[in-house]
Amino acid sequence: MKRKWSMFMALILTFSLVLTACTDDNTAEKEATSEAESSVTMTEPGTFPIVEDKVTLKVLIRGHADVDFETNDFTKWYEEHTNVHLEFEVAPENGFEETLNLALASGNYPDMIIGMDITPATQMLYGKSGTFLPLNEMIEKYGVNMKNIFKDKPLVQQVITAPDGNIYSLPDVGDCFHCNYAKRMWINKVWLDKLGLKMPETTEEYYEVLKAFKEKDPNGNGVSDEIPLAGAVGGWNTEIEGFLMNSFIYNPQGTGQTGMMLDNGKVVAAFTQEKWKAGLDYMNRLYSEGLIAPETFTQDNTQYRQMGEGGDVARVGSCPGGLYGCIAYGKERFKDYVVLPPLAGPDGTRIAWTSPYEGIKSGSIVITNKSKYPEVAFRWADGLLDAGEVSLRSDTGAKGVYWDWAEPGDIGINGKPAIWKKLKEKQPGDNTGWQTRAPRYGPSDFRLGEKRNEEIPLEIILYEAAQKYEPYKVQDDQVLPPLFYSDEQAAELVSLEKSITDYKKEMTARFIIGDADLEQEWNVYLDTLKQMGIDQYSELIQQAYDAR
């Protein structure tokens, strides 16, 4: 009995010594950090430089082919501006995830991690473990730019806040007005005018226009070579369903989990709804009458451009794309095409795809528990989110070389007084700016405050095109926001998502071209999705949505 008691007391003593040692280590680390911070004198929040005496921070950053971070123009300027020097470890541009994961797993990571687009699941995992510092208190105390962003764009705070209430990363926020309405369709205005047709406003009117394009020789060469409608796979919004399906049901491509939407707070798959079936039926009708090019579902963007740009006369009547689809901007033929506004479907549905979360990207910068100067690191990062000179220098390049402030009387893209003007475009090897590796804040009015350039009017054209889509934008409560998932949820989603998404894409094409009979095989399609786990997939997303 005495022997057992002695062993028990020895274990207690050993545990106490280990606990004391750990406590002493933590206390020593905190005291060292506190001493380091007390030796640094910071200026008032929102002023520069950040510190009176230069501080060095170590960072891990994703590389870029056109940036040498050590010698970069922006690196030098921002160091002079902040009095903070950076020591860089540069991860490969491709495969940077492996470098990040290795650093976190080994514990060999620096003060800050920049430009790695750290996933919400990773933020939660390393936030809870203490590796990534919660930023809430620092935002409240020092976050001049972050608080301005929260005020101007409240959804940013929602997107970057983890379910535990903490914010573990700073975001990149780029408000590109025309990008928010990028699922555009273009139509040959020269052909419309030649045939005496008005701009279609409904899916039925669009059908009649496409028939006229096919049958009435609008290119005037006496040959039946017209392609009423064409699209492509893999281009920027070059799939025809990205535009056309929104006349039947909101098509949530590229928002949250692709294909998923909200219906009164419930997560549902848009591509299993009866209205989706109606959209497929309409597109099958177009295809069966020879109004859609068969190559639409197989050709890449290069072949798509060859179809639109080749030959002595235009052959394509209508084509989707974030830019000009089948015609590259700058080619003479692009001037023949104008944007087609959203079409009203049979029941009046008329939606322009957009997302209030577009352009909000979390995980741009995290501050780790290795930082001796976390508050200096935070102020350095918050300074990058200035909607002005800092963002312009980090993105566009050196002031006076690549951009400058507008002159009185200059007019911006949006028709208001201009804020800034572009002097020249960056070229490969210029080594100016950080090429989107630094988080930026670009509110819409600031981006559209660029001086209009009538000789290169692309931004003006896209702005005016987006204005025609804005009145029909989808309701915010239908759009699934970016969500935080646990590691387990994220792994399960990944295992389900690919097979479901691939099957949905395959069957969308097969239903449109008639390779699968829509009436006879629709229920088989739904049953197959159930077998693939669509209900489980939806439930995982619902859990994460409810946890917000």
Domain ranges of the chain: 44-176+361-452, 183-352+479-547
pLDDT (0 to 100) of residue 506: 96
Contacts of 64 (CB under 8 A, 6+ apart): 93, 434, 435, 437
Q: Read off φ and ψ for residue 318, nearest 5 degrees.
A: -150, 140
Question: 44-176+361-452 domain in CATH 2.60.40.1220?
Answer: no
User: Do the domains at 44-176+361-452 and 183-352+479-547 have one common CATH topology?
Assistant: yes
pLDDT (0 to 100) of residue 234: 86
Tens of pLDDT along the chain (548 residues) come to 433 334 333 333 333 333 333 334 344 444 444 444 447 899 999 999 999 999 999 999 999 999 999 999 999 999 999 999 999 999 999 989 999 999 999 999 999 999 999 999 899 999 999 999 999 999 999 999 999 999 999 999 999 999 999 999 999 998 889 999 999 999 999 999 999 999 999 999 999 999 999 999 999 999 999 999 999 998 999 999 999 999 999 999 765 577 999 999 999 999 999 999 999 999 999 999 999 999 999 999 999 999 999 999 999 999 999 999 999 998 999 999 999 999 999 999 999 999 888 889 999 999 999 999 999 999 999 999 999 999 999 999 999 999 999 999 999 999 999 999 999 999 998 999 998 898 999 899 999 999 999 998 999 999 999 999 999 999 999 999 989 998 889 889 988 998 999 999 999 999 999 999 999 999 999 999 999 999 999 999 999 999 88
Contacts of 138 (CB under 8 A, 6+ apart): 374, 375, 378
Reduced DSSP (H G I as helix, E B as strand, rest coil) percent helix, strand, coil of the chain, to 5: 45, 15, 40
Residue 190: how many CA atoms within 13 Å on its side-chain side?
14
Task: Convert 189-216 to b/e letters by CB count within 10 Å (16 or more is b).
Answer: bbbbeeeebeebeebeebbebbebbbee
Long-range contacts of 507-510 (CB under 8 A, 24+ apart): 508/241, 508/271, 508/280, 509/297
| CA distance linking residue 118 with residue 120, whole number of Å | 7
461, 462, 454, 398: which is closest to 426 by C-alpha? 398
pLDDT (0 to 100) of residue 18: 34
Do residues 279 and 241 lie in contact, with contact meaning Cβ atoms separated by under 8 Å? Answer: yes
| CA distance linking residue 440 with residue 80, whole number of Å | 19
Q: Is 470 helix (H, G, I), strand (E, B) or coil?
A: helix
Do residues 376 and 54 lie in contact, with contact meaning Cβ atoms separated by under 8 Å? Answer: no
* Residue range 183-352+479-547, CATH number: 3.40.190.10
